[in-house]
Amino acid sequence: MPAHALDHVGIAVHSLDESLPLFESITGDKGYARERVESQGVEVVFLGRGDGRLELLAPTRDDSAVAKFLAKRGPGMHHLCYRVPDVQAELDRYRAEGARLIDEHPRPGASGHLVAFLHPKSTGGVLTELLQASDGH
Ligand code: CMX
């Protein structure tokens, strides 16, 4: 099985507008693909190219997962996202290994890719997202 590439690192922030200049300075890139993902109660923007991009996440609702994270821990690293060829197959594999899944099935995420989350209690304390690119790469 080929190694899964790190697609992005999710960083929780209170405000995209306030945080973008700092992360644009760090990455040397302009934010792109800004989008509200209403199902997750977040607005996201990406920075950086190739593997290991950054995704800034800001809450759009007080009851969203990112709002809860910010209230408890403050801004910082929120999740790692790995690119896989088949999210459902990976979920089935993790379930068979006894891992705790947040999503039983893939769902549409940012940029139209299929995504699913694994619970941090089963992934070494690191919230982990699996992403199946809509273009198959
Ligand atoms: N990374 C690591 N651990 C985390 C975490 C995170 N991002 N978020 C929560 N936890 C830990 C908490 O610290 C807590 O641990 P303890 O019990 O030891 O204190 C435990 O998980 C339970 O956390 P909680 O605060 O009670 O929060 P919830 O159970 O309500 O939710 C989680 C936690 C991970 C299930 C929830 O945030 C979730 O479903 N996340 C997946 C969806 C998501 O994050 N969407 C936003 C991104 C969307 C996108 O990228 O498009």
pLDDT in tens, 60-84: 999 999 999 999 999 999 999 999 9
pLDDT at 52: 83
pLDDT at 133: 83
Q: How confident is the model at residue 50 (pLDDT cuts 50, 70, 90)?
A: confident
Burial 72-84 (b: 16+ CB within 10 A, else e): eeebeebbbbbbb
Candidate from 34, 68, 119 with most ligand 1 atoms within 8 A of CB, to mutate: 68
**Residues within 6 Å of ligand 1 by CB:** 10, 37, 40, 42, 44, 57, 65-66, 68-69, 72, 78-79, 102, 109-110, 117, 119-120, 125, 127
* pLDDT of 130 above 60: yes
Mean pLDDT of 15-34: 97
Going by C-alpha positions, the residue among 8, 7, 40 that lies closest to residue 107 is: 40
